[in-house]
A and B are shown apart, each in its own frame.
Chain A
Amino acid sequence: MTDYLLQLINVALVLAVSPALVGLIRWLKARMQNRRGAPIWQPYFELRKLFGKEVVVSDTASWVFRATPYIVFASTLAVALLVPLVRIPVPVALGSDLIVVVYLLLLGTFFLALAGLDTGSPFGGMGSSREMTVAALAEPTIALAIFSLAVGAGSTDLGRIVAETLNAPTTVAAPGHLLGFAALFIVMLAETGRLPVDNPSTHLELTMIHEAMILEYSGRYLALIEWASGMKLFIFLSLLANLYVPWGIATSNDPAGLAVGLLALLGKVVVLGCAIAALETRLAKLRLFRVPELLSVSFVLALLAVTSSFVVR
């Protein structure tokens, strides 16, 4: 029972911390760009503002448009429940399975793309078509990159994978491990709409990918979607941290261990957040048709990761 309660705390953690992560990356970027930047808790104010605003829905929108924010939010929360964040093992009955996680994430993307098409606005359609181009290449890479770890661990259970890495620390330097990390990092940039694939801070409607899909949303719908994007970013960074550098994660329900696990997780996520901010300051956006090339590279990296996992084993 405690196990399940603790796993629920995971969810609360993701809900509570993810806006700060978004705020932190924005603030760091601003500092690196010679600007003062908004405080890191600015996204909380934005969420509160959006929840207080009325929702404007186009006359042509169907139920898909209204349901999508909830589906996206709920599926992201479900992922938060399933992945190992502060402690392992994840209770088996929840099914912390790699394939479940990947497809729950895809569910949100799928509905966002539908909602983009739903209103019939040209920007929504444009965003959806671009998002699908990216997703079609990104999703298999995520699965493949994590498979390379699963091969080593002999299980697709994320908790087990983390535990195996903890047991055999030398595997961290294995080629499969490093290649997989690189592949997943690139895909993370694409999936969470960061540079060089998408520009989260642009105002140019014609260049947008993720933002173009959600251009029609307002009020609490927008708040839910923004919050879910923040959570998705947090989950991706935690996965990268825990799958590849698992140290610090709690292995029992001992309060001290849990506290260490929490601090370790936050520390690792902040480090990755800084990496993203630094990267986004250095990089320009790729020409849209170059994005598939980048994603193919990450797919090949993931494929090599799997192959080398087999070979090395």
Chain B
Amino acid sequence: MSTLTRLIDHLGDTLGEKAFDMRVVRENELHLRLAAGTPLALASTLEADFDFKLALMVASDRRTERSCFEISYLFASARENLFVHATKDVPASGNAARSIATFSLPASLYEREIRDMFGILFEDHPNERPLVRHGFWPEDYFPLRKDAARVEFADNGQSFPFQRVGGEGVFEIPVGPVHAGIIEPGHFRFSVVGETIIDMKARLYFTHKGTEKLFEGRTPTEALPLAERISGDTTVGHAMAYCQAIESLAGVDVPNRARYFRVVLLEMERLYNHIADFGAIANDTGFAVANSHCMRIRERLLRLNAELTGNRLLRDGIVPGGVAATASLSDPARLAGELDSVLADFEEVVEICMRNSLLVDRLEGTGRLTRKTAEDHGVLGYIARSCGIDVDTRRDHPFAAYGKLEFRVPVLEEGDVKARALLRVEEVRESVSLIKQAAPRSTEGLRSVLLRALPAFEPAFGLVEGWRGQIIHWVMADEEGRLTRVKIKDPSFVNWRPLSFALLKNIVPDFPLCNKSFNQSYSGNDL
């Protein structure tokens, strides 16, 4: 008996009439609808009995068609390539949703986001504070509602109330949102005793651009450039998750050549980002040599990128249904040779760094994130893998051609800056090997297939292990085949919070180092 059949029986037993319309879609997705008040029971039984984790929560405004809001919960199995997608209705008044915030921290974050964007209130939510919304937004402005008017408003100069840390000798250091270097905006409020950090609160969402709203009303092809620009350094990751969601919705199968080529693109993106990150971590310890060499190696990779897709940041490579006609890999042997030389080059820089005892001393034990904290926050990507959590979407929910390729998922236990730096090195090695396997198989065959018409008001999603971690795009189209709701989850959404826990008991001058080793996206989080 397959897990899905057991799951259906079990849900029938535990939830009874409250779970209905159960159907298996695309072989590995169980879709169902929930009666009011049952999500917590569903989440608990899924986690306790089947090891499913909450991967995403999506609200959508269906008041025009169904006179209610819908909230969908996506659960992903930690052991098999299985998903449960449950949807419940929330009355149009928007004030009667039961909270599942007590189930997990990510759930609490999703609910706060939904509350800010849709004005849906959750009963018994333990955290009243807004998440996305800055204080100067008009009270009744909920931008993701379909009838939200476009209003003009500006910062009113009021400060954001931070939790004060009291006590003798406790000082606050406010940093940002404008920084001395060229980085994205975020405000960090440190409470310190001497140089020791005893609390750090981050205020993000300064780059909130209404990305999800901008998807609405576009055709799948029109929305692709938008997906590529969600976070500048994750072009392929987001474009791929988006395309996979669209393909899943349209029910088309991507040709083999495109699958392998997508692997090449995604791993190229991982390579150039990981190598640049390693250099930047070394640079933050004052070891600028490593940084300039890593930037040089990154440049070599960007030039290879330009040969692949015509764009140094790998834009215009992936299209819904396959890969772009303009993207091509003419000489896989040369690419493999170049990558071997890049890897050797990088390994030398890593060796020089790791033999520098001053540098290693700065990395060791700095910014340690415990496994427990990481698990509580549902942390993803290299941050999870550097503190002993073995998750990787490429292996757990294979997409593109990963099911047919050989690779290892490196996991380190220490959870400090050094582990996060060395994990990147290990992943660089794996990426080179993956590209060398995939490249020869991505030169011949059909590049892409035509999309079929998108079914109206059906949910579909795509998961990708971007270089930062798991990216999810959730899409729904209307009767005309235009997108009516797109939900994007960048791993930064769950990975930002644990930073303040990793910082505890570290000293202020080590913050940039910790932050760099996390290197989360502001744009991908703020959307």
Contact = CB atoms under 8 A, between A and B. Distances in A.
Interface in B134-183: 171-175, 179-182
Nearest to A205: B180
B353 to A, nearest CB: 9
Given A122-B172, A122-B173, A284-B356, A206 B511 contact: yes
Given A196-B286, A196-B358, A205-B179, A126 B173 contact: yes
Interface in B243-295: 282, 284-289, 291-293
A263 B289 CA distance: 32
Given A34-B289, A126-B173, A289-B507, A284 B180 contact: no
Interface residues of A, number: 29
Contacts of A202: 286
A284 B508 contact: no
Interface in A108-132: 122-123, 126
Given A204-B181, A204-B284, A207-B509, A287 B361 contact: yes
A169 B508 CA distance: 48
A284 B511 contact: no
Nearest to B171: A122
Contact of A284 (B172, B173, B174, B287): B287
Interface in A175-209: 195-196, 199, 201-207
B508 A206 contact: yes
A285 interface: yes
B510 to A, nearest CB: 7
Select the residue from A196, A205, A215, A287 with max chain B CB neighbours within 10 A: A287
A281 interface: yes
Nearest to B287: A284
A33 B511 contact: no
Interface in A280-294: 281-290
Contacts of A34: 289, 292-293, 296
Contacts of A215: 180
A289 B508 CA distance: 11
Nearest to A291: B509
Contact of A199 (B174, B286, B359): B286
Contact of B288 (A29, A126, A205): A29
A283 B358 contact: yes
Contact of B509 (A122, A201, A284, A288): A288
A204 B180 contact: yes
A196 B356 CA distance: 13
Contacts of B175: 205-206
Interface string A270-313: 00000000000111111111100000000000000000000000
A35 B289 CA distance: 9
A285 B356 CA distance: 11
Contacts of A35: 292
Contacts of A195: 286
Nearest to B288: A33
B124 interface: no
Contacts of B173: 122-123, 126, 206
Contacts of A207: 284, 509, 512
A13 interface: no
Contacts of B512: 204, 206-207
A100 interface: no
Contacts of B358: 196, 283-286
B17 interface: no
B362 interface: yes
B461 to A, nearest CB: 38
A153 interface: no
B80 interface: no
A290 B179 CA distance: 26
Contacts of B180: 203-205, 215
Nearest to A198: B286
Interface in A18-57: 29, 32-35
Given A203-B180, A203-B181, A205-B179, A287 B289 contact: no
Interface in B286-320: 286-289, 291-293, 296
A285 B289 contact: no
A206 B509 CA distance: 5
A283 B290 CA distance: 11
Contacts of A288: 195, 507, 509-510
6 contacts: A122-B172, A196-B358, A202-B286, A204-B512, A284-B287, A287-B362
Interface of A: 29, 32-35, 122-123, 126, 195-196, 199, 201-207, 215, 281-290
Closest 10 CB pairs of A and B: A285-B286, A203-B181, A284-B359, A204-B512, A284-B287, A284-B358, A284-B285, A207-B509, A199-B286, A33-B292
Interface of B: 171-175, 179-182, 195, 282, 284-289, 291-293, 296, 356, 358-359, 361-362, 507-512
